[in-house]
Amino acid sequence: MADYTAWLDSHGGGIATDACSNIDNSATSTNWSYVVNSFTPSCPNTGVYSVTFTVTDDCGFMQSLTVNFTIIDNISPTISPTSVDMTEECGGGDDQSDLEAWIDSFGGAVAADGCSNETWIDFDFVTNDVFPVMGTVAFGAYPNYPQVTANKCDWSVQVTFRVTDECNNTSTTTSSFTIEDTMDPVLSAIPADVTVDCQAPAPIMPTATDNCDAAVDIVLVADTVATCANSYVLTRTWTATDDCGNTDTGVRVITVEDNTAPMVTAPADVTVECDMVPVPGTPTVTDMCDMNPIIVFTTNTVSGSCANEYVITRTWTATDACGNVASDDQVITVQDNTFPTITGTLPTDVTVECDAIPTAPVAGTDIVGADNCGLASFDYLQNSTQGIDPDMCSFYNYALTRTWTAVDLCGNTTIHTQAVSYTHLTLPTIYSV
């Protein structure tokens, strides 16, 4: 109002002159007077004053002029402090409510106006979605507020807050509300390191949780360092990655060992006759890791006291894929306890006249010696008790002992004997006297 008072004192800026008298145009002039005709308000503390200024000279002549003094408010409210950006970690469950509270607090901005009351009326917004959402919303119209996009990395909305005074002068301040995800997901239920035989257990999928991502991607990578087929170190690494690229890893080390030798069971030990030596049998071979271990067969023979008596040691040696070795033996004791046989025309004991001596069977033709494992000898021997003097009865009455002897390679002996007794019972024959 000081400007208005000064304006009145200055006679609205008017200057009067008169041809016959001096006109005092100062603020304290008595030549000047004014009448406020009316005041037409517009908005608070603004309006139009209609004022009639009258100047009177020393002779009483007057001249009047009606003019207007208009008070306007074209100064926008001041904002201090202005709004400030807000960044919030997602996943607290209150992202939308925090956004709305931030908007309702005008982003922390404070407005003031020198002429009238100020009012925050609405705000403009635009999101950073692939297809941006934008609009102008009155404060408090919550259904129309921007809606937080779930699981979007660094989702943000730019908000321009608008304040106006009662004369419709407006001011704005712009800031952004950003939701970010900087927290790594958390892997759980990672199996413990383990040492096992032969084969690694099947993978067990762990679980992962994240403050923002409800379905975290989990990738398994396996790395194997082997020393042999069934002995190695398997490192399984699970990597959990959320939608914003934050990761967590878990590692399980599986040490696979094969320190167990195969199991070999040879055929049972046996004692056999020399003609019954079995052919090599098939051992039973198992290995807890290797389904096809390498089997090597060796044999060793130790001679006994004769050609057909000896000990055979048959050894089966199994080696699995990791070099574990086991063996088992079969001991075959070979004996020759079977006597030779004498077959063919086997003569029996006989008593005959001295002139009817039977012919002895021929060894090897009429009478044969044989053995299951080999004959060392087959001999024929004849012993006689015949006297040497033909004039003596002992020359004619005597006994023959015929012996056939079969001996095998181990000294087993079979003997066949024929006793031939000779008698002289026939009387002489007298042909003439």
Residues 6+ apart with CB under 8 A from 369: 340, 341, 342, 363, 375, 378, 404, 406, 414
Instruction: Report yes or no on whether pTM surpasses 0.75.
Output: no
> What number is the average pLDDT over the span 35-44?
90
Q: Quote the radius of gyration of the chain (alpha carbons, Å).
A: 68
| Bridging pattern class, strands 194-197 and 247-257 | parallel
pLDDT at 2: 85
| Bridging pattern class, strands 194-197 and 186-188 | unpaired
Sign of the C-alpha dihedral, residues 102, 107, 110, 115?
negative
DSSP per-residue codes, 223-238: EEEEEETTEEEEEEEE
> What number is the average pLDDT over the span 192-218?
91
CB atoms within 10 A of CB 3: 9
Q: How confident is the prediction for the chain on average, in pLDDT? A: 92
Rounded Cα–Cα distance for residues 86 and 70 (Å):
43
210-267, pLDDT tens digit by residue? Answer: 888 888 999 999 999 998 989 999 999 999 999 889 999 999 999 999 999 999 999 9
* Residue ranges of domains in the chain, CATH in brackets: 2-71 (no CATH), 78-180 (2.60.40), 187-257 (2.60.40), 263-335 (2.60.40.10), 341-423 (2.60.40)
Give the position of tokens 């603020």. Answer: 27
Instruction: Give percent above pLDDT 90 in the chain.
Output: 74
